[in-house]
Chain A
Amino acid sequence: QSVLTQPPSVSAAPGQKVTISCSGSSSNIGNNYVSWYQQLPGTAPKLLIFDNNKRPSGIPDRFSGSKSGTSATLDITGLQTGDEADYYCATWDNSLSVGVFGGGTKLTVL
């Protein structure tokens, strides 16, 4: 059971938009930055979003993040088949002094 809660799967057609949610608590998301990671099959996770809503260099603006209270969301617009991957949210938990991840969301582009 992961500390952060994500939907197990989402799907949408090419060109459409999906939103992946990440729910936590005041001890983690509520008081810390959230980051998002994309994991393509057979590869290591890759940073997509840091500080809730910032993109590293090279990440297209089709990917965006936001945070409100104890929840965060990752939006992906203009879906492409190459976006099919697992997506994870992560942050720090102050009360446990540990890093925490969401359970991951598998994106299928139909």
Chain B
Amino acid sequence: EVQLVESGGGLVQPGGSLRLSCAASGFTFSRHDMHWVRQDTGDRLEWVSAIGAAGDTYYSGSVKGRFTISRENAKNSLFLQMDRLSAADTAVYYCVRVGSNAFDMWGRGTMVTVSS
């Protein structure tokens, strides 16, 4: 079964850090571009970051310089290191696979709450 399972979310104070992980299974992880997409409390979907199968990385303007995406193909894992967090980063974070030029597989998401 093709599956993406996120972990690492939680409550963090403003200015703090979190590292999200995504465990992939059921497909050849190394062949796919992978993305992080978040959904805020108003249900708006926002693209966050991407890492290509070749390791090229991309970031939204709102997280560039604070977030770092990475992958470990040997462990079928995707990561998002989030630093200098603010309330605006509060959201559900989804790990997403790209297939056929689209986000064809989504995890269930992990909640990140930034609050004092």
Contacts and interface: CB of A to CB of B under 8 A. Distances in A.
B74 to A, nearest CB: 26
Interface in A76-102: 86, 88, 90, 96-101
B104 A47 contact: yes
Interface string B1-45: 000000000000000000000000000000000010100000111
Contact of A103 (B44, B101, B109): B44
Contacts of A54: 100
A98 B47 contact: yes
A interface SS class: strand
B44 A51 contact: no
A45 B45 contact: yes
Given A86-B43, A104-B45, A99 B102 contact: no
A90 B46 CA distance: 10
Given A99-B37, A101-B47, A104-B44, A47 B103 contact: yes
Contacts of B44: 2, 101, 103-104
Interface residues of A, number: 24
Interface in A11-66: 33, 35, 37, 44-47, 49-51, 54, 56
A86 to B, nearest CB: 7
Contacts of B103: 35, 37, 45, 47, 90
Nearest to A101: B45
Contacts of A100: 47
A2 B50 CA distance: 18
A35 B102 contact: yes
Contacts of B59: 98
Contacts of B61: 96, 98
Shortest beta-carbon contacts, A-B, top 4: A99-B47, A50-B102, A35-B102, A44-B106
Interface of A: 2, 33, 35, 37, 44-47, 49-51, 54, 56, 86, 88, 90, 96-101, 103-104
